[in-house]
Amino acid sequence: MFVSTPIESGLLIAVVIVFVFQWIAKKKQNKVLENGVYKTFPLVTKTVLTKDTAIYRFGLPNANDVLGLPIGQHISIKASIPTEKGDERTVVRSYTPISSDQDSLGHFDLLVKSYANGTISNLFGQLNIGDKINVTGPQGSYDYSRNCRDMIGMVAGGTGITPMYQVIKAIYEDKKDTTQVYLIFASACEEELFLKNEIDRMARERPNQFHVYYMVEKTEREDWEGGIGYVTREVMDEHLPLPSAAQKVQLLICGPPRMVSSTRRNAISMGYVKGSRVSKMEDQIFTF
């Protein structure tokens, strides 16, 4: 017969109390997004990655709030942009947070590259702490769930890594998810392989599940181990899973329009089914 000591009993009680409080906190989480309703959120921190790219953290109304965004879906941001005529026009753009409801209470994070001729992206570069953005969502037809595919291939270009990162992180954080992930991540230069450290950490810890291949257009490093150039059919053949009748395989694509178009063509020539004009969750080729 096992008789617990006062210390062991105290530890058990402490563990139970922590579990109960965590359960209560999770139950009280408030999802703030309402599709079609724009809400404002203030910028609380800005982490600069390159001269024109940063991670912007926006605060939610309460410390225990979450966005309420399914994995793989996005938000829409609306702003009034001055025109050359002196009036304003309303512009709406979509962004996928790199944070998720599972790991971000009271805030959400966006990775944004600002372009000189951009509209919303240029607005981000001008934000100061405390400035607010108008957000609605969730939006999008991709809704990842545990083991919904056996293998997922991904081709991302630049900031097109953001929806891929959300899916990768969801799979990594769920120990019961056995989905095999094959990522080709291409950018103009190594500096713009955003979130590389985070992706490398996950791949390093689970190398049999996460397979990553990086590409840059050019590099001066002689010890660069990734690819140089563009994502071609040959690169896809080598680093992505082939479509299979015996397994559930899906290819996700996000990046510059020319890269997306060429990747779709190459995927179809590899045997992937073309899919809908506007991608649906059940499509074998899904474009964000």
Q: Is 234 helix (H, G, I), strand (E, B) or coil?
A: helix
Active-site annotation holder among 56, 95, 142, 165: 95
Sequence-distant (6+) residues with CB within 8 A of 274 are 264, 268, 285
The residue from 53, 96, 159, 263 that is catalytic is 96
Non-local CB neighbours of 246 within 8 Å, separated by 6+ positions: none
Residue 115 is a catalytic residue: no
Which one of 53, 56, 74, 144 is the catalytic residue? 74
Catalytic (active site) residue 95: yes
d(CA 73, CA 95): 9
Complete DSSP assignment for 87-156: SEEEEEEEE--S--TTT-SSEEEEEEE--TT-SHHHHHHT--TT-EEEEEEEE-S----TTS-SEEEEEE
Let me know the angle formed at the C-alpha of 144 by 142 and 147, rounded to the nearest 5 degrees: 140
Q: Catalytic pick from 254, 263, 272, 287?
A: 254
Alpha carbon 198 to chain centroid distance?
12
Q: Give the residue numbers annotated as catalytic, written as ranges.
A: 74, 95-96, 254
